[in-house]
Structure 1
Amino acid sequence: MIAPLQKNLFTLILTLLSLSAFAQTGTIKGVVRTSDGQPAPFVNVALKEINKGTTTSEDGSFTFKNVKAGSYTLITTFVGFQPQEKQVTVTSGEVTNSDFTLSESSEQLEEIVVSDTRTLNEKTVDIGKSGIKPMDLPQSTIVIDKTILDNQQVGRISDVLANASGIYLMGTTGGVQEEIAGRGFSYGSSNTFKNGVRYNNAVMPEVTGLERVEILKGSAAILYGNVTAGGVLNLVTKKPKFQNGGELSFRTGSYDFYKPSFDVYGALNNSNKVAYRLNSSYENSRSFRDNVKAERIYFNPSFLIKAGKKTEILVEGDYLNDKRTLDYGTGSVNYVVADIPRSRFLGASWSYYNTIQKSATITVTHALNDSWALNGIVSYQGYNNDLFGTTRPNASSQLVATDGTWVRGLQRSGTDQDYYIGQVNLTGKFSTGSVKHQVLIGADQDKYDNTAQAYTYANPIASNKNVYDTINIYDLSKYQQRTDIPALTLSSTTKNPLNRTGVYVQDLVSILENLKFLAGVRYSYMESETANVKSYDDAFSPRLGVVYQPTKDMSVFASYANSFTLNTGLDINNNRLAPSFIDQYEVGVKNELFKGLVSANVTAYKIVNSNLAQSVLVQDIPADAVNKTNPQELAGEVTSKGIELDIMSRPINGISFIAGYSYNDTRYTKSSQYIDNSRLRYNPQHTANASIFYTFTNPLLKNFNVGFTSFYVGNRVAGRSTRTTVTNDTYKLMTLPDYFLFDFSAGYNWNNVSLRAKVSNLFNQLSYNVHDDNSVNPIAPRMFSATVSYKW
């Protein structure tokens, strides 16, 4: 045991020695930026004389500590940019600053367009708000960037999501939208975002304006309130640049598909304060479905204003006008997909689904200092939809008979929606002793003004019933089809306003460099109205997680989060149901393998909704119940569990690949209405994805690349879930066949011109996306497309 005096003396000597050693060394700091002033992450920086290197962080900064006093050569290298060298002198006990601005040639810029050196675990998601690095986040994330979007020549969001495990289409109702789901739960409009703002996904989003797509799996309730379980999706559009440039392209393909588009950007009047970007596209096409066609116009302007050294203002607009034929597919007979040609259209020739969607968003970012930043967003979105056509096969008791006879009715509906949101976030980093904190404090308020119009059709020739005409789905020539467009009567206009307010706080606490805890909570308050019944709900959404990093290339995590969803049903006393609360558990391992060349992440999860809203059985409705028309109760339970694997590589000698697999099992684990342990509809138990692209380096084939993309979706069930206690129940489930999609792509770049070609669904697989049993939409057959573009 060291005596107190000796111990103090010993400590003093160690301190002096440490200070002496520090006094003989200094620090080098700097920031690397691109020529348009943006931070350049993941740039290699090295000290030539001592062979010591590092890479820049997300904000472009780098640091060398404990460098002996003297003169050194700093070298920066990055694919697509010219190497640079600078001489620096390190002075004992001082910090030497040395910044770089990368410069590029036109030839090298072509390289950077087709390469992304960041790995899966280096791509921070904006949708996470706090800027936590993926290796520090106890949650699974995926970023699908522009390199992948361009290489795969994506045309729809479903093409993009084929690169992420466990994310899939659960339906394409009416052939007019892509209903996305993950981990057994729908990614509805509450779970779909564009640039961090909720986005109505009842229309197919335009992909030509996308810079990347972000997926935050699991619970996001602490950040966004009442989002359903499974995850959230964020579409990030292209941003302004101070460097002048642009692209003009034209895509054509099977079934008279034509799509010109342009994208221009640069500094406004050569200013270093204001930059702009304008991208737009026009699409016109037929379909493999007879009489089905589509036309859409997209316009996406944006401006970036540098209001000061620490303040940026981003103004973004978005406009989409989408017109297409309403198409409920090939129909089904007694819960079996009808055996008719894939191309046969069963609706009225004039049926339509027209949508206009527009938005304006202002984002202000202000750096308070090097550690703290303030971010504010205000946004408006307008959504208007007009649906008019024949009813769905088998809907409203108008069933398709065994011989194929179907009495068609008419339907028309309108939707007008105005959505407003304002949010503010304060992010910061600080230390309490040796403990580091990365904090997020925020508040948001949003408002929906929803108006729905419903119409009725009464045919006087058919006793004022909703009867338009009769067809036979197996033989369309058997009956004469009507082609006139009757007038329908507006029967009701319903308003459903919704107001939400939330406040939240979150802290990533680094106890040690390799041991971190994430804790946070959100309080949400909501006011809503359904059928003239007002409701007031509130909820707390906690989040807890732990991350342990045994090495810098491995991260092991576990987390718990609680989320909630609003219920619109009324109980037996005509009171609005309380929200359903959902517990989510997640564990996983994130790995950087082969010196960071390959990311490989594995995640397991369990999600339990233990108070699921369901209908009260008729025999259980009390005689004195106020509401005897379909009252509901919180008495069911749904459990989702599964495992996901995601693999993504950096470009390795011209080769890059992505692979993934997911297993999901989502069932009714307790229900008075459905058979216990029965599967929820639309969710495949197995999905898998793989893609590989190769850019030739041989002089004879330079600038030529080829790629293969595949996606597997296991069998699913649709139809109508069987009830357990209803006499003579005729509901049945439909089993949908699994399918395997295989695409081939090839491209060639010559100076500023590029040519790409693609064959999708190479083996002409056939399967269906089905909603209930009344929108049976076949997947697209083998199709060809080609794109030529010019960049400057």
Structure 2
Amino acid sequence: MKHILLLIVSILFCLSGFAQETASISEKTNNNETYYTVLDTVKNKKGEVLQEVIINAKQQKNPVFVGKSGIKPMDLPQSVSVINQATLQNQQIVSLTDVLKNTNGVYIMGNTGGYQEEIASRGYSLGSSNTFKNGVRYFNGMPTEMSGIEKVEFLKGSAAILFGNVTAGGVLNLITKKPKFNSGADVSIGIGSFDLYKTTFDVYGGLGDSKKVAFRMNGSNTQANSFRKGVSSETKYINPSFLINFTEKTSLLVEADYIKDERTPDFGAGIINYELVDLPRERFTGISWGYNKAEQASQTTTLKHQLSDNWDLSFVNSFRYYKTDLFANARPNTVLGTPANSAPILSVDADGNWKRSVQRSEAKDNYWLQELNLKGKFKTWDLNHQVLIGVDTDENKTVTLAYKNMNYDTINIFTTDLSSARFDIPMMAKNTLITPSIKRVGGFVQDLISFNKYLKVLAGVRYSYQDTENNKITYTTAPITTAAPVPTVTGEKTDPVTNQYDSAFSPRFGLIFQPNEHHSLFASYSNSFVPNTGIDYATGKAMEPSTIKQYEAGLKNELFKERLFANLTLYQIENDNLAQQSLANGNADVNIKEMSGATKSKGVEIDLVANPVKGLSLLAGYSFTEIKYTSSNTYIVGSSILYMPKNTANLNFNYIFNDGKLKGLNLGLINSYVGARAAGRSTQIRSIYDPRKPVALPDYFQSDATISYKFHQLTFRGKISNIFDTLSYNVHDDNSVNPIAPRNYALTINYNF
């Protein structure tokens, strides 16, 4: 709480400058471009690039028409955060964790194995169905390379009307760098703590003199060790794109994206009896030869045509592929056995002895998307309409081969003595082959109706249909012996193919009242759906999807001649039909379920963006989130859902010297606060011998500082992260405990051609 008070006092102190500075500043300072948070329904669906919001000394009126429908930010009843290229450069952002220091209410909920940044918003996890790159779903189970990203967009709350099957917390969209007709290039070399070495390049320009074809190619190579002894990583990335303007009204954009990442999995070992263990921050307890190899490639083609002054048509065709290969120790706290009438035996005992086992899995996934969108403006009687109509279909097929876990060795996590550790790479026996596929089809219509300049209504509905097919093969293998050291498959069992069909309507309705052009009040309702697995106990049929309802209200303000933007959002998200195992008549089959659970998420979000004086930009925010079980036959009613901090806050400054002897100098300070939260496991009330319980994680405050200096074509950048060497953890369940990095530095030199 003291950190929150510190942030609030700092915000008030900085904003006091508005009362003293009353003169209008008219000069434009393009290098003072910064981040901007607006309340909006970003219909960046899917891949439509939002125009940049440039916060200059004098902000232009209505600078942005957000999303495909071209609706102004003040006209839309939903919260969106946009972090543009200037902010990514000024803050020297290299990960999604860095990005989230600019977005209150969106946070990292875990860092499983050290190779995945798990994101959450408004109490809901944002999995791969909720993460997009250029409007197309991308696999977020591997690190994100930020050197090719031009902009990051967060649409908070329900987005089902635009994207179909997404969870209620919101969606993330990464916009990659786009082709340019003016020729240019830049290269950079960076070094940093823990043997970090990174190179990047970016080349762009037009082809020929007709200004009809442009290209861009950027990429990077990153190698690093870690503050965790024995952990290392290497990432390669390339992002080519081409733009063809056939006519003034027709264009074709072709984009590709490829990333390959290999790193040492690190699940930590810092929980005993559901309490954090005070181990040295740098101690790595995993298997030395372990690896996680991942690669992902995508190609997206976008064709746009302007039908008339008021109507536009766009078509998107995209393909994405990824594969992963994980071979490492199993996660700590694996259940080794469950004796009758007693608690389960866990792999890490109270004395720190860890019976390590080995896991391996391989996965491949293909994903296809096609969509067609039509937007336009027209008038009926005295009503103005901005309509958006879209249809889309997508499909993904996944193949996952899992091997049988095997016991490996025993070590003690409290010592560095590895005399009992093994270092050989064992042969693994196949266990299961799972090949699920998902096919989706959907269509939607949305209309912003303006009754007059004060009152507007946004209404729309989407219909979604989803077919989920499941296939599973279970292998039988011969025991490994000295004579037969290689596992041999002796048989396989194929389960019957199952199909689950789900459909849902997802409406949205919003009312907007604007007493003048600088203030807007709104209230909205929307819902989303989540498919369920299993059989309904009451009907004997497949479980219906759960419908999640969202209520939202907000106030948006442009103050002090558009030098301060202040937004307030209130929301409540209700899931009144959460699927849980049915306990009727003593049922013990986890596949037999009922809609017996309910959850409620509610919260407040405050966003401030300001330019109090020339050269200074400020972003500040605060969020309160509370999500609890309101009904359950499994968990304690009233208990909080794990991972979600009630309080988050941020206060970030950036100052650019635009003239004088210090011209070209850029200073920044990034402050973020994450409140207390809980990991571990929610206690199950129906289990007598359930040792699982939440693991308390303390709140923490982190500060980073940046500096850069531009001299002609050279730019020097430096960053110190975690200035005060704060210690905290990202924890997934009770089995991946990852401390945040200690104080570290990075230095980069960039040359622009």
Name the TM tier (shorter chain). 0.7 to 0.9
Distance of 2:454 and 2:268 partners within structure 1: 54
Indicate the SS of the match to 2:99: helix
1:581 and 1:611 in contact (8 A); partners too:
yes
* 1:635 CA displacement: 1.3
Cα-to-partner distance string for 1:430-488 (whole Å, 9 max, x where unaligned): 1112210000000000001011111014xxxxxxxx21000000013164211110110
Residue 408 of structure 1 pairs with residue 374 of structure 2: no
* 1:274 CA displacement: 0.4
Distance of 2:591 and 2:41 partners within structure 1: 47
Residue 731 of structure 1 pairs with residue 692 of structure 2: yes
Distance of 2:695 and 2:129 partners within structure 1: 28
CA pair 619-122 structure 1, distance change in 2 beyond 3 A: closer
* Aligned counterpart, 1:418: 366
Q: If you compute each CA radius of gyration, which structure gives the higher value, 1 or 2? A: 1
1:183 corresponds, among 116, 122, 145, to 122
2:565 corresponds, among 586, 590, 599, to 599
CA pair 191-163 structure 1, distance change in 2 beyond 3 A: same
2:330 and 2:356 in contact (8 A); partners too:
yes
Indicate the SS of the match to 2:375: strand
Structure number with greater CO (CA < 8 Å, separation at least 6) is 2
* 1:414 CA displacement: 1.1
Distance of 2:133 and 2:254 partners within structure 1: 14
Residue 556 of structure 1 pairs with residue 521 of structure 2: yes
Instruction: Supply the AA of the counterpart residue of 1:250.
Output: I
* Aligned counterpart, 2:413: 473
Distance of 2:157 and 2:130 partners within structure 1: 11
Distance of 1:265 and 1:257 partners within structure 2: 27
Indicate the SS of the match to 1:468: strand
* Aligned counterpart, 2:390: 442
* 1:369 CA displacement: 0.8
CA pair 637-145 structure 1, distance change in 2 beyond 3 A: same
* Aligned counterpart, 1:126: 44
Distance of 1:114 and 1:421 partners within structure 2: 38
Q: How does 1:733-772 map to 2 (within 5 A)?
A: 733-772=694-733
* Aligned counterpart, 2:592: 631
2:39 and 2:556 in contact (8 A); partners too:
yes
1:247 and 1:789 in contact (8 A); partners too:
yes
* 1:364 CA displacement: 0.7
Distance of 1:698 and 1:430 partners within structure 2: 48
2:402 corresponds, among 454, 461, 464, to 454
Q: How does 1:679-698 map to 2 (within 5 A)?
A: 679-698=640-659
Indicate the SS of the match to 2:348: coil
Indicate the SS of the match to 1:162: helix
* Aligned counterpart, 1:79: none
Distance of 1:727 and 1:633 partners within structure 2: 22
CA pair 478-413 structure 1, distance change in 2 beyond 3 A: closer
1:524 corresponds, among 457, 464, 469, to 464
CA pair 525-488 structure 1, distance change in 2 beyond 3 A: same
Q: How does 1:298-313 map to 2 (within 5 A)?
A: 298-313=237-252
Residue 782 of structure 1 pairs with residue 743 of structure 2: yes
Distance of 1:225 and 1:684 partners within structure 2: 27
* Aligned counterpart, 2:24: none
CA pair 227-441 structure 1, distance change in 2 beyond 3 A: same
Distance of 1:684 and 1:321 partners within structure 2: 32
1:250 and 1:789 in contact (8 A); partners too:
yes
* 1:649 CA displacement: 2.2
2:36 and 2:81 in contact (8 A); partners too:
no
* Aligned counterpart, 1:505: 445
Which deviates more, 610-619 or 507-516? 610-619
Distance of 1:339 and 1:284 partners within structure 2: 29
Instruction: Supply the AA of the counterpart residue of 1:647.
Output: L
Residue 205 of structure 1 pairs with residue 141 of structure 2: no
* Aligned counterpart, 1:489: 429
CA pair 336-479 structure 1, distance change in 2 beyond 3 A: farther
* 1:384 CA displacement: 0.3
* Aligned counterpart, 1:663: 624
Distance of 2:211 and 2:658 partners within structure 1: 37
Distance of 1:114 and 1:205 partners within structure 2: 27
CA RMSD of aligned residues (A): 1.8
Cα-to-partner distance string for 1:608-656 (whole Å, 9 max, x where unaligned): 011112223486318xxxxx35433221001000000011124841100
Q: How does 1:180-579 map to 2 (within 5 A)?
A: 180-397=119-336, 398-457=346-405, 466-477=406-417, 479-530=419-470, 532-572=497-537, 575-579=541-545
Distance of 2:218 and 2:29 partners within structure 1: 22
Cα-to-partner distance string for 1:400-451 (whole Å, 9 max, x where unaligned): 1111001011100111100000001000011112210000000000001011
* Aligned counterpart, 1:610: 576
2:105 corresponds, among 154, 166, 170, to 166
Distance of 1:259 and 1:146 partners within structure 2: 19
2:556 corresponds, among 583, 590, 602, to 590
Indicate the SS of the match to 1:174: helix
Cα-to-partner distance string for 1:502-521 (whole Å, 9 max, x where unaligned): 01000000011121100000
Distance of 1:246 and 1:632 partners within structure 2: 58
Cα-to-partner distance string for 1:58-81 (whole Å, 9 max, x where unaligned): xxxxxxxxxxxxxxxxxxxxxxxx
* Aligned counterpart, 2:675: 714
Cα-to-partner distance string for 1:37-56 (whole Å, 9 max, x where unaligned): xxxxxxxxxxxxxxxxxxxx
Distance of 1:324 and 1:114 partners within structure 2: 37
Cα-to-partner distance string for 1:690-739 (whole Å, 9 max, x where unaligned): 10011124512111111100110001111110111221221111000111
2:303 and 2:315 in contact (8 A); partners too:
yes
1:119 and 1:596 in contact (8 A); partners too:
no
Q: How does 1:91-106 map to 2 (within 5 A)?
A: none
* Aligned counterpart, 2:25: none
Cα-to-partner distance string for 1:570-625 (whole Å, 9 max, x where unaligned): 44587532211000000000111111111111000000011112223486318xxx
Matched length:
670
* 1:271 CA displacement: 3.9
* 1:137 CA displacement: 0.4
Indicate the SS of the match to 2:246: strand
- TM-score normalised over the length of structure 1: 0.83
Residue 140 of structure 1 pairs with residue 79 of structure 2: yes
Distance of 2:694 and 2:132 partners within structure 1: 32
Which deviates more, 113-122 or 352-361? 113-122
Distance of 1:576 and 1:477 partners within structure 2: 53
Distance of 2:594 and 2:219 partners within structure 1: 48
Distance of 2:607 and 2:97 partners within structure 1: 17
CA pair 287-645 structure 1, distance change in 2 beyond 3 A: same
Instruction: Supply the AA of the counterpart residue of 2:506.
Output: S
Indicate the SS of the match to 2:335: helix
Cα-to-partner distance string for 1:68-100 (whole Å, 9 max, x where unaligned): xxxxxxxxxxxxxxxxxxxxxxxxxxxxxxxxx
* 1:490 CA displacement: 1.6
Indicate the SS of the match to 1:699: coil
1:620 corresponds, among 586, 592, 614, to 586
Percent identity between the aligned chains? Answer: 49
Structure 1: tracts of 5 or more residues without a match: 1-109, 458-465, 623-627
Structure 2: tracts of 5 or more residues without a match: 1-27, 46-66, 337-345, 472-496
Q: How does 1:634-649 map to 2 (within 5 A)?
A: 634-649=595-610
